[in-house]
Structure 1
Amino acid sequence: MRKTALLFGFLLPLVGFVFGFSNPGYKIALVPGIATNPFYISMYHGAKKAADQLGVELVWQGPNNWDFVEETRIVETLIARGDIDAILIAPCDPEALKEPLRRAREAGIVVITVDTDINDPEARIRLTNIASDNYLGGYLAGETLAKAIGGKGKVALMGAMVGVTTNELRYAGFKDAIANYPGIQIVSTQYSGEDQAKAAEQMQTVLLTFPDLAGAFGVDTPTAHGCAIGIRTAGKTGKVVLVGFDAQPLEIEDVHEGLITMLVAQAPYAMGYLGVQFAYDYLEGFLSGFPGNFTTGFYVITKDNVSASETQKWIYQTELPK
């Protein structure tokens, strides 16, 4: 039944075009976690594609840094405009954004979270969260790393932020996957704060402390790329299996150079596309119920498939659509 409703939601805009139904003139805002990040730029490409197909206006406004204070101000500005029908947002903090988004909902604005989420288990504020299953992604990274090192050896968990929902789920998934291999030890856990230079320094320190380190997991782009730099600086290229997360151009270069062994790529384009589609369908009354979470998939990139045509659609984009 749900599949039928979704199909109906996708087809109705086309029917409206053919028979001359009026354009509803909706305005949907997309608020990324960081406006300049290729992950969110790729999300915008997907959202813009859906917006153009549906005939709605897409408003793009986000912070230049991972900053919940700046993001809160953006939400308040969107509420004050009085013409925004829906907000798609990647909250920078699961608690700090609850009240601003509650005010948006009370103002009649549809709220959908994308990528990250707020603490709203009963969905009283947002309709749904569209994101990767980050626990599964972390688990996939752990399994991939474990198999690559033959199920034994010392590994490091190179984390980024503490308390961010996406990161915490990846940590948990990775640890649970590694726990299935008695021959593997997590000998070091570091947090870079998404600082690439700090991640590089941390990776070098871990390699000095554990010269026999078999592998590492870099939980996001700044961390994974920083770890790749640290491995190269330490003269360990090709000697440490590094599994990264995401598929930004910097990481793709690291795969080509043999610094990153594997990447677990997300689907931000799909998150943006579905966010606009779901908001439109809800506003039009086509759909009234949503799952609490709607998950998108993963794709593992390696040196063997990095140049394949199938892989290219998973690589994140760096320029906004014109």
Structure 2
Amino acid sequence: MIKNSKLLTILALVMVFAFVFTAGSFAQEYNIAVIIKATDSGFWQDVLTGARTADEKLDNVTITTHGPTSESQIAEQVAILENVITRQPDAIVMASTSSDASVPALERAYDQGIKIITIDNKVNTDKIHSHLATDNIAGGKLAAETFVEMAKQHGKSVDSGKVGLISAMAGVQVLADRDQGFIQGLNEYAPGLEILETRYVDNRIPEALSTAEDILTSHPEELVGFFADNNHTGAGVARAIAERDIADEMPVVAFDADDAEKRALEEGTIDALIVQDPFGMGFKGVQFAVRAIEGEELPEFVNTGVTAVTQANMNNPEIQNLLNPDMRAEAELAE
């Protein structure tokens, strides 16, 4: 009888320990929602590559990915965020297209205990745990400095003339910062150049193409070159340059580095790309979400960096690592 009692006690303890271990294991599984601005963009696919790499590297993380088709679909992105919150993830990593439209939902999620990491675009609330992004004003100034260099390489005078500035969308803070930085930089590095009125193209490549054509037609003698402030505007301007076969005489500097822009750089219809680190935003965004869930105090802002890429340096190993997120993912997972 005593032996049976001891046996029952041991079995009971084993069951208790098994339950505690199992419960503890489940408690360590973190569900993280990653919301991007658009699924139709190579830039945002690179962000997802970084997030998925972090997911694979971290045993206790499961991510879900979400986003509207286009960056112009702000209301749809907010609706996606609202839906995600109803599922009560442990954290949300979000690149909000609008600095304001997503704020009420993000603040509600924060108040519910969901950890909030924003990437790329800053939102107008303090109810986040960290923000990872490019310093876009600095990036815009780098674009201006690089533009002046490229113009000189094309044999253009920077003492006078006009520059076309094509922006994806109005009212988006990251784009406004890039444009502001470019204007400030050009005023510093080439004050004799006049920047034409900013043209907005609703983040559409065909619209960027037709706008570049219009500028080329309207200013046939005075135009020195173009600045395009994201991947879609860059691809559209490059097409206009290619169609007119004027790559040798018309410098173009564009932000980002999706496949179309990289081909344009190789072909010479874009002279320089101002490259962010979308892979790093996704990868570090998920890492920071885990750190926030585990109670770690995080920096308010992390500058993820920006680099000028030209034909002269695009094959350097560090640049190739930046331009090829799949290669970078392999390296991360091999560590």
Sort the TM-score into its range (normalised by shorter chain): 0.7 to 0.9
RMSD of aligned residue pairs (Cα, Å): 2.1
SS of residue matched to 1:140: helix
1 CA distance for matches of 2:324 and 2:94? 19
1:51, 1:276 within 8 Å by CA — same for their partners in 2? Answer: yes
TM superposition shift of 1:316: 5.7
1:42, 1:268 within 8 Å by CA — same for their partners in 2? Answer: yes
For 1:186, the aligned partner's letter is I
- CA gap 1:119/1:274 in 2 versus in 1, 3 angstroms: same
SS of residue matched to 2:68: coil
Task: Quote the residue 2:234 is aligned against.
Answer: 224
SS of residue matched to 2:140: helix
Query: Which stretch of the first structure deviates more once superposed, 61-70 or 92-101?
Result: 61-70
1 CA distance for matches of 2:314 and 2:149? 19
TM superposition shift of 1:135: 0.9
Q: Which has the larger radius of gyration?
A: 2
Does 2:75 match 1:69? yes
Task: Quote the residue 2:179 is aligned against.
Answer: 171
- Greater fraction of residues in helix: 2
Structure 1 stretches (4+) deviating beyond 6 angstroms? none
2 CA distance for matches of 1:235 and 1:205? 16
How many percent identity over aligned positions? 31
2:50, 2:325 within 8 Å by CA — same for their partners in 1? Answer: no
Task: Quote the residue 1:110 is aligned against.
Answer: 115
Task: Quote the residue 2:308 is aligned against.
Answer: 300
Does 2:268 match 1:258? yes
Does 2:202 match 1:198? no
2 CA distance for matches of 1:316 and 1:183? 38
Deviation per residue, 1:246-283 (Å, 9 max, x gap): 01110011111110000011101111111111111121
- CA gap 1:117/1:98 in 2 versus in 1, 3 angstroms: same
* Counterpart pick for 1:211 among 220, 224, 233: 220
1 CA distance for matches of 2:51 and 2:308? 24
* Counterpart pick for 1:129 among 131, 154, 162: 131
Query: Which stretch of the first structure deviates more once superposed, 181-190 or 170-179?
Result: 181-190
* Counterpart pick for 1:45 among 33, 46, 49: 49
Task: Quote the residue 1:5 is aligned against.
Answer: none
* Counterpart pick for 1:279 among 285, 289, 293: 289
Deviation per residue, 1:31-70 (Å, 9 max, x gap): 0001232212111222222233322111112111222221
Stretches of structure 1 lacking an aligned partner (at least 5 in a row) = 1-20
Task: Quote the residue 1:32 is aligned against.
Answer: 36
2 CA distance for matches of 1:154 and 1:223? 18
* Counterpart pick for 2:96 among 73, 91, 100: 91
- CA gap 1:289/1:309 in 2 versus in 1, 3 angstroms: closer
TM-score between the two structures when normalised by the length of structure 2? 0.83
1:247, 1:314 within 8 Å by CA — same for their partners in 2? Answer: no
Task: Quote the residue 1:7 is aligned against.
Answer: none
TM-score between the two structures when normalised by the length of structure 1? 0.86
TM superposition shift of 1:195: 1.3
Stretches of structure 2 lacking an aligned partner (at least 5 in a row) = 1-23, 153-157, 331-335
For 1:130, the aligned partner's letter is L
1:196, 1:222 within 8 Å by CA — same for their partners in 2? Answer: yes
TM superposition shift of 1:187: 3.1
SS of residue matched to 1:179: helix
1:241, 1:260 within 8 Å by CA — same for their partners in 2? Answer: yes
2 CA distance for matches of 1:40 and 1:240? 29
For 2:313, the aligned partner's letter is N
1 CA distance for matches of 2:69 and 2:196? 34
* Residues paired across the two proteins, number: 295
* Counterpart pick for 1:138 among 133, 137, 140: 140
* Counterpart pick for 1:313 among 307, 317, 321: 321
SS of residue matched to 1:129: strand
1 CA distance for matches of 2:197 and 2:112? 47
SS of residue matched to 2:166: strand
TM superposition shift of 1:317: 5.3
